[in-house]
Structure 1
Amino acid sequence: MGLHGSKQPEAQVLILGLDKAGKSTLLYKLRHDACVSTVPTIGFNVEMLEARKKSVNFILTLWDIGGQAKMRAHWKSFHQDAAAVVFVVDSSEKERLEEARKELENTLRSEQLRGLPLIILANKQDVDGALTATEISDTFNLKKICSTRDWFIQPCSAKTGFGVQEALKRLVQLVKLPSDTATVKDSIKETVHNLAASSRR
């Protein structure tokens, strides 16, 4: 995703989670502020949003990847250019929580996703008996499995819109822009240059 001339920086975000977790509904709520009835995603959906971070305007490209078992094997194909991961959990489906936890752990083991920020969306909070964000955080042992990355869990409802904008704001704060990476690389270069210069004195 090379940057050419005045083209805005772009940050690609993966939206992952089990089938029927509400990923596509959340995507369209974010993009169009509308509750859209969706069918299971075979493949992926892509939407782009304009965002702003530290006075930098950039494009947030959201990749909603299908969550059926046969699609999960292809998730890793999308890891390479990701700047953040959003993992959607159906808070009302307690019997699939362990399955979701295993898929999240498996995803976070990816070398290409190492250190990237993670936002867990505890979706379907409008359903009676839905687990709280704290209960999901404890079940997933997030403090342990996310010890080397920035992470946040947001209770939300794609259906009602509750928590969706808060999730987007947090995502924009946490997402790693190409310029963030460049700054780190520049500071490393500067350090190496200074070390080399001092060794010559």
Structure 2
Amino acid sequence: MCFMSVVQKLKGSTDMELSIVLLGLDYTGKTTLLKSLASEDVKIITPTQGFNIKSVASHEMKMNVWDVGGQRKIRAFSTKYLENTDLLIYVIDITDKKRFEETGMELSELIDEENLAGVPLLVFENKQDLTAACPASEIAEGLSHCTASFPINMYRTA
């Protein structure tokens, strides 16, 4: 499924401008995703200290995409970026099985945020092209404690 089709389906409207926030643990590929959306070179990526923002036009939509750093010391500040969010994309590195529980706990905390009430959530399984990628069943198990109270949409792009 094309990324833009997923965004349109989750948003459920034809708004011409969207505010999208990319969150997840550090080194999951949020900046790579942002640069890919903006058709920029992804060969050299440095860890995000704070945030990156880009406006991307595609399929008659303008997306203002906030890529918020995922280092543990700055995660607590990520909620500042959630006000007026139209779509939250939570990026998971599906090759990093050791951090599934940690990412599930972070996602659980986000789900409880007041600013996210009614905001569609897309869990983006990144790094599917790598041989170390875990199957969806293992990812779902790692996220199990947060999926019971919130419907999570997981899409595979393979």
Q: TM-score range by the shorter chain?
A: 0.7 to 0.9
Partner in structure 2 of residue 76 of structure 1: 79
Q: 1:87 aligns with which of 86, 90, 93?
A: 90
Q: 2:52 aligns with which of 23, 34, 45?
A: 45
Deviation at 1:155, TM superposition (A): 3.0
Q: Structure 1 residues 27, 133: closer, same or farther in 2, change over 3 A?
A: farther
Partner in structure 2 of residue 183 of structure 1: none
1:165-186 Cα offsets, whole Å, 9 max, x none, are: xxxxxxxxxxxxxxxxxxxxxx
Letter in 1 for 2:37: L
**Which of 1 and 2 has greater Rg?**
1
| Structure 2 Cα separation of the partners of residues 16 and 64 of structure 1 | 7
Q: Structure 1 residues 143, 100: closer, same or farther in 2, change over 3 A?
A: closer
Deviation at 1:34, TM superposition (A): 3.8
| Structure 2 Cα separation of the partners of residues 138 and 60 of structure 1 | 32
Letter in 1 for 2:153: F
1:3-22 equivalence runs, <5 A: 9-22=16-29
Moved over 6 A (4+): none
Q: Which runs of 5+ in 2 are unaligned?
A: 1-14
Deviation at 1:131, TM superposition (A): 1.0
Answer with 23-32 or 133-142: which moved more.
133-142
Deviation at 1:97, TM superposition (A): 0.9
| Structure 2 Cα separation of the partners of residues 137 and 25 of structure 1 | 23
Q: 1:129 aligns with which of 132, 135, 145?
A: 132
Q: Structure 1 residues 134, 51: closer, same or farther in 2, change over 3 A?
A: farther
Q: TM-score, normalization: structure 2?
A: 0.81
Q: Which runs of 5+ in 1 are unaligned?
A: 1-7, 157-162, 164-201
Partner in structure 2 of residue 145 of structure 1: 149
1:24-53 Cα offsets, whole Å, 9 max, x none, are: 01111111164332111001111112244x
Partner in structure 2 of residue 27 of structure 1: 34
Partner in structure 2 of residue 107 of structure 1: 110
8 Å CA contact retained: 1:85, 1:117? yes
| Structure 2 Cα separation of the partners of residues 65 and 152 of structure 1 | 21
SS in 1 for 2:38: helix
Deviation at 1:153, TM superposition (A): 1.2
Partner in structure 1 of residue 66 of structure 2: 63
| Structure 1 Cα separation of the partners of residues 134 and 50 of structure 2 | 29
Indicate the structure whose relative CO is greater, using CA pairs within 8 Å and at least 6 residues apart. 2
| Structure 2 Cα separation of the partners of residues 134 and 153 of structure 1 | 11
| Structure 2 Cα separation of the partners of residues 11 and 133 of structure 1 | 28
| Structure 1 Cα separation of the partners of residues 32 and 94 of structure 2 | 15
8 Å CA contact retained: 1:12, 1:62? yes
Identity %: 31
Partner in structure 2 of residue 194 of structure 1: none
